[in-house]
Structure 1
Amino acid sequence: MRYHVGDFDKDTLLRLYELMLKPRMIEEKMLILLRQGKISKWFSGIGQEAISVGVTAALKSEEYILPMHRNLGVFTTREIPLNRLFSQWQGKASGFTKGRDRSFHFGSQEHKIVGMISHLGPQLGVADGIALADLIKKKKRVTAVFTGEGATSEGDFHEALNVASVWNLPVLFCIENNGYGLSTPTKEQYNCEHLVDRAKGYGMESRIIDGNNILEVYSKVNELCKALRKRPRPVLLEFKTFRMRGHEEASGTKYVPEKLMKQWAKKDPISNYEDFLLDEELLSKKEIEALRSKITDEINTNLEQAFNESPMESSSSKEIEDVYQSFDYKNVKPNKETKNIRFVDAISEGLKQAMSTHDNLVIMGQDVAEYGGVFKITEGFVKEFGKQRVRNTPICESAIVSAGMGLSINGMKAVVEMQFADFVSSGFNPVVNYLAKVHYRWGQNADVVIRMPCGGGVGAGPFHSQTNEAWFTKTPGLKVVYPAFPIDAKGLLTTAINDPNPVLFFEHKGLYRSIYGDVPENYYTLPLGVASLIKEGQALTIVTYGAGVHWALETLTKMPELEADLIDLRTLQPLDWDAIYASVQKTGKLIILQEDSLFGGVASDIAAQVTEHCFEYLDAPIKRVASLETPVPFAKNLENEYLPKQRFEESLKALQAY
């Protein structure tokens, strides 16, 4: 292996050697501990240290780096205390996840490291968001994100590269091409000669780098970082290397031809570099022994500290408390000046006033800029706030949700518009596996609101009519808001944006231009988790939300003799259980109306909870009314049959007569 010293001084050359040697020696110790059952799992980076160390050493300490399983050198180069790493791998309190996640599934704002999730691809979009925040804040920084050659087949990889290229984001996309995705060789994963060839399709620069040559990695990445800080743009890097151990230790390496293993063993990045330093008389064997002894002592001292730490302890209340970042709700009261506006106008007004309140808020979505969105909610926003903060996106929901996560990591807020709530399925993974879990896992909040135009009754068919809130109320870590009136829509939206946690904000399309209301002109907030009692009566309790509120009101006008409590939930997570229980305890009867199909919906959980907590107060079976168990049909007569409006009236009469 050839090493070109170039302008490197002796201190740098020796420092790079030490930076590689430390993670190698830690790994060798971890493999022993794994066999002893003192850690649960290990993903080895032996043979790939030059990449982790070289890339990290080329970055500035304030620049974010997003590593993967086999990038221990990232963590040690950023000088994370070893006792904390060892505690992390044993699930102890001094680690970074309070025992809630293992190995390298964590981040550290102090060290500007953002760890990966097992779904791999979303972290590439997260890097886009981090880099976007730096651009908006005019900080001349680079973000580096790692992936393996296997994960380049994921859609998130292609979406993230496309977004980074279109937006000229200063991201280094680092592919560690180590020959195998678990046991699948590269020839079965892609059909191009080099993975960097894909960069051409995205209008990106690319480089192939010898991933086992520390000086080549460090010098080329350092050169690129300097260039990207001056002229921001993404670059795709392919590091040619090899995985000398199994995907994880239980996998083994029997699927690797012995000849190939021996061939790559000769390219070991540490032994070759060590021989080079000895040949150049920059290092002696005595100095190597002393260095190894120093690292060994450091490892053993920190291991003892981690082993002596007590096992992680917690409680149910503490675990639940940590699902969300604490939110100190500030009640901003509405003024007396109101105007009668549509539901859609209230949302637009709330969003605009939030943009004025938070200068770190970015709106992203398809056609949201000059066009104003398909529902014209952001019309005129570009003129007022500029294209940096009101951003048209390519059609790549997953990467944009992930980018929202990256903005939050780098100190900004994001509102992501799903053109239709149905389309969130294309971005489902980062919503439920990244945004929802990130605070519970390592204390990082996801300051992201996802706007969800939803609902039927407008003849839009199966792909533009779903009301899919139940997908998200099931997922711990998400908040779900679903207003029915303009005044609530505005106040709840501003609160959702203030809230540092991820919020799914559902907006029924059928209400956009059909429902009017008097809405305060000023910026104001409404609390999440507080239902609205719209009508009061003794006969029975109606619980609903969204368009269901208006269906219930219309039905009650046909039945003037029925005096009922009508509860508009307004938010589904958190949900106002106290309001429901108090009403049921008063009336003794409960009917729940939802537009979503019946099975697995919000109504089912409300019915179950009321049965558990208010059974002795019930004078009749709880009724649930919902749409048919079919996709939403297009033809008006079919859609009318699908929706529960008529069935609600029949069920309400039956409950009244029970």
Structure 2
Amino acid sequence: MEYKGDSVDKAMQLKLYQRMLKPRLIEEKMLILLRQGKISKWFSGIGQEAISVGVTSALKPDEYILPMHRNLGVFTSRNIPLYRLFSQWQGKGNGFTNGRDRSFHFGTQEYKIVGMISHLGPQLGVADGIALADLLKRNKKVTAVFTGEGGTSEGDFHEALNIAAVWNLPVLFCIENNGYGLSTPTNEQYKCENLADKGIGYGMESHILEGNNILEVYAQVDFICQSMRKNPRPVLLEFKTFRMRGHEEASGTKYVPQQLLDTWEEKDPIVNFENFLLEEKILSPNLIETFKNEIYAEIDYDLKKAFAEKEIDVDETKELKDVYKDFDYQSINHNSITKNIRLIDAVSQGLKQSMERHGNLVVMGQDIADYGGVFKITEGFVEAFGKDRVRNTPICESAVVSAAMGLSINGVKSVVEMQFADFVSTGFNPVVNYLAKVHYRWGEHADVVIRMPCGAGMGAGPFHSQTNEAWFTKTPGLKVVYPAFPYDAKGLLATSINDPNPVLFFEHKGLYRNIYQDVPEDYYTLPFGQASLLREGEDITVVSYGLGVHWALEALNDNPDIKADLIDLRTLQPMDMDAIYKSVKKTGKLIILQEDSLFGGVASDISALVMENCFEYLDAPVKRVASLDTPIPFAKNLEHNYLPKDRFVKELINLLTY
């Protein structure tokens, strides 16, 4: 291996050696502890230390870095106390996740490190969001993100590269090409000769580096980062290296030809660099011994500290509380000046006033800029706020949601518009596995609102008509809002944007231009978790939300003899079950109407909770009314039959006569 010593000063060469030696010695100790059963799992980076150490050393301490399983050198080069890492790997309290996640699945704002999730791909989009925030704040910073050669096959990789290229984001995409994705060799994973070539398709600068040569890694990355800070743009780096141990220790390396292992063992980044430094008289055997003894002493001391730490206490109250970041709701009242507007106008007005109120709020979505969105909710926003804050996105929902997460990590709020709620399925993973879990896992919040134009009744067929709130109400960590009236839509949207937790904000397309209401012209908020009692009566309790509220109103108007409590839930997570219990205890009968298909919907949970908590007050079985358990059909008569509007009236009358 050829080292160019003149590219890096001698003091830095010595520091790089020490920084590589430390994770190697830690790993050797961890492999012993793994065999002793004192840690549960280990992903070895032995032989790849030059990449982690070289990249981290080239970054400034306040620049974010997003590592993977095999990047222990990132954490040690950022000088995280070893006992905290050891506690993390043992699931103890001094770790970073309170025992809720393992190994390197954590982040820390203190050290500007954002760990990966097992789904790998989303972190690339998160890096986009972090870099976008720096760009918006005029920070001359670089964000570095790691992936393996296997991860380059994921759609998130391509989406993230495309966004970074289109937006000129200063992201350093680092591919550790280590030969195998678990047991699958590279020739079964991609056809191109070099992964760096993938950058060409995105109009992106790319380079191939010898990943086991610490001086080449550090010098080249340092040079590239300095250039990126001056001229923000993404750069793709492919580091050629090899994984000397199993994907994780239990999997072994039997699938790897011994000759290949022998070849790469000769390229050991630490052994070779050590020999070079000895030849150059920068290092001596005594100094090597001194370095090792210092590291061994630190490892032993911090291991004792971590082992002496007690196991995590089980505190169910704390577990439930930490799912969401605390939100100090501020009630902001409106004045008396109102205007009769449509629900779509209320959403637009609420979003615009929030943009005015929060200078760090960015909206993103397909066609939302000059075009104003397919429903024209953001029409005129570019003129008011500029294209930095009103951003057209490529058609890549997963990376956009991930980028919203990255914006939040770097202190920027965002509202993402799904062009149709149906399309969230292609961004489902980062919603339910990243946004929803991030606060519970390591105390970071996701200050993200996802607007969801939804609903049937307009002959749009299976892919533009779903009301898919139940995908998210069952996912801890998400809040779900579903207004039925303009007044509620405006106030609840303002609260959603103020809330530091991720919110799915459903807007029924069928209500956009058909429902009018007098709405205050100024900014105001409405609380989550408080249902609205629209009608009062002694006969029966009717619970609904969204368009279902208007079907229920129509049915009650057409049947004035029915005296019902009509409850509009307004928010589904949190849900105002107290309002439902109070009403059911009064009326003795409950019917729940939802537009979503029946099985597994919100109505099922309401029914179960009422049966568990109000059984002795019921005079009849709880009734759920919903759409058919089929996809949503296109033809008008089929769609009408699919929806529950007519069936609701029949079931309402039947339940009253039970």
Q: Distance in 2 between matches of 1:418 and 1:451?
A: 6
Please tell me whether residue 437 in structure 1 is matched to residue 437 in structure 2. Answer: yes
1:85-484 aligned within 5 A: 85-484=85-484
Report the AA paired with residue 563 of structure 2.
E
Q: CA deviation at 1:42?
A: 0.2
Q: Distance in 2 between matches of 1:475 and 1:114?
A: 22
Q: Distance in 2 between matches of 1:466 and 1:484?
A: 16
The alignment of Structure 1 onto Structure 2 pairs a total of residues equal to 658
Report the AA paired with residue 409 of structure 2.
I
Q: Distance in 2 between matches of 1:337 and 1:217?
A: 63
Aligned to 2:591: 591
Q: Distance in 1 between matches of 2:412 and 2:547?
A: 33
Q: CA deviation at 1:8?
A: 2.2
Q: Distance in 1 between matches of 2:252 and 2:359?
A: 52
The answer on whether the counterparts of 2:368 and 2:391 sit within 8 Å (CA) in structure 1 is yes
Aligned to 1:602: 602
Aligned to 1:625: 625
Q: CA deviation at 1:7?
A: 4.2
Q: CA deviation at 1:6?
A: 1.7
Q: What's the CA shift string for 1:512-547, capped at 9, x where partnerless?
A: 000000100110000011100000000000000000
Aligned to 2:22: 22
Report the AA paired with residue 316 of structure 1.
E
Partner secondary structure for residue 341 of structure 2: strand
Q: CA deviation at 1:11?
A: 1.1
Partner secondary structure for residue 384 of structure 1: helix
Partner secondary structure for residue 453 of structure 1: strand
Q: Distance in 1 between matches of 2:141 and 2:289?
A: 38
Aligned to 1:78: 78
Report the AA paired with residue 432 of structure 1.
V
Q: Distance in 1 between matches of 2:126 and 2:371?
A: 26
Q: Distance in 2 between matches of 1:10 and 1:50?
A: 17
The answer on whether the counterparts of 2:370 and 2:382 sit within 8 Å (CA) in structure 1 is yes
Q: CA deviation at 1:393?
A: 0.2
Aligned to 2:503: 503
Partner secondary structure for residue 140 of structure 2: coil
Q: CA deviation at 1:306?
A: 0.3
Q: Which runs of 5+ in 2 are unaligned?
A: none
Report the AA paired with residue 500 of structure 2.
P
Partner secondary structure for residue 560 of structure 2: coil
Q: Distance in 2 between matches of 1:352 and 1:244?
A: 54
Q: Distance in 2 between matches of 1:295 and 1:128?
A: 35
Please tell me whether residue 62 in structure 1 is matched to residue 78 in structure 2. Answer: no
Q: What's the CA shift string for 1:218-250, capped at 9, x where partnerless?
A: 000000000000000000000000000000000
Report the AA paired with residue 553 of structure 1.
L
Partner secondary structure for residue 609 of structure 2: helix
Q: Distance in 1 between matches of 2:412 and 2:233?
A: 21
Q: Distance in 2 between matches of 1:15 and 1:287?
A: 12
Q: What's the CA shift string for 1:39-59, capped at 9, x where partnerless?
A: 000000000000000000000
Report the AA paired with residue 50 of structure 1.
A
1:639-650 aligned within 5 A: 639-650=639-650
Partner secondary structure for residue 359 of structure 2: coil
Q: CA deviation at 1:314?
A: 2.8
Report the AA paired with residue 319 of structure 2.
E
Q: What's the CA shift string for 1:331-370, capped at 9, x where partnerless?
A: 0012111000000000000000000000000000000000
Q: Distance in 2 between matches of 1:283 and 1:274?
A: 8
Aligned to 1:52: 52
Report the AA paired with residue 638 of structure 2.
L
The answer on whether the counterparts of 2:212 and 2:240 sit within 8 Å (CA) in structure 1 is yes
Q: Which runs of 5+ in 1 are unaligned?
A: none
Q: Distance in 1 between matches of 2:290 and 2:621?
A: 78
> How many percent of aligned residue pairs carry the same amino acid?
75
Partner secondary structure for residue 191 of structure 2: coil
How well do the aligned residues superpose, as a CA RMSD in angstroms? 0.4
Report the AA paired with residue 105 of structure 1.
H
Q: What's the CA shift string for 1:291-325, capped at 9, x where partnerless?
A: 10010000000000000000011311110000000
Partner secondary structure for residue 233 of structure 2: coil
Partner secondary structure for residue 110 of structure 1: coil
Q: Distance in 2 between matches of 1:550 and 1:183?
A: 56
Q: What's the CA shift string for 1:564-619, capped at 9, x where partnerless?
A: 00000000000001001000001000000000000000000000000000000000
The answer on whether the counterparts of 2:210 and 2:217 sit within 8 Å (CA) in structure 1 is yes
Partner secondary structure for residue 462 of structure 1: coil
Q: What's the CA shift string for 1:611-638, capped at 9, x where partnerless?
A: 0000000000110000001111111111
Q: What's the CA shift string for 1:17-60, capped at 9, x where partnerless?
A: 00000000000000000000000000000000000000000000
Report the AA paired with residue 398 of structure 2.
S
Report the AA paired with residue 341 of structure 1.
I
Report the AA paired with residue 401 of structure 1.
V
Aligned to 2:526: 526
Partner secondary structure for residue 101 of structure 2: coil
Report the AA paired with residue 461 of structure 1.
G
Aligned to 1:493: 493
Q: What's the CA shift string for 1:429-474, capped at 9, x where partnerless?
A: 0000000000000000000000000000011110000000000001
Q: What's the CA shift string for 1:192-223, capped at 9, x where partnerless?
A: 00001111110000000000000000000000
Q: Distance in 2 between matches of 1:7 and 1:379?
A: 53
Q: Distance in 2 between matches of 1:6 and 1:356?
A: 53
Q: CA deviation at 1:92?
A: 0.3
Q: Distance in 2 between matches of 1:124 and 1:170?
A: 12
Aligned to 1:41: 41
Partner secondary structure for residue 426 of structure 2: helix
The answer on whether the counterparts of 2:8 and 2:219 sit within 8 Å (CA) in structure 1 is no
Q: Distance in 2 between matches of 1:245 and 1:610?
A: 55
Report the AA paired with residue 179 of structure 1.
G
Q: Distance in 2 between matches of 1:291 and 1:512?
A: 68
Deviates more, 1:311-320 or 1:242-251: 311-320
Q: CA deviation at 1:492?
A: 0.2
Partner secondary structure for residue 312 of structure 2: coil
Partner secondary structure for residue 110 of structure 2: helix
Structure 1: 4+ residue segments shifted above 6 A: none
Q: What's the CA shift string for 1:413-434, capped at 9, x where partnerless?
A: 0100000000000000000000
Q: CA deviation at 1:656?
A: 1.0
Q: Distance in 2 between matches of 1:417 and 1:248?
A: 39
Report the AA paired with residue 88 of structure 1.
Q
Q: CA deviation at 1:100?
A: 0.1
Partner secondary structure for residue 375 of structure 1: coil
The answer on whether the counterparts of 2:7 and 2:219 sit within 8 Å (CA) in structure 1 is no
Report the AA paired with residue 394 of structure 2.
P
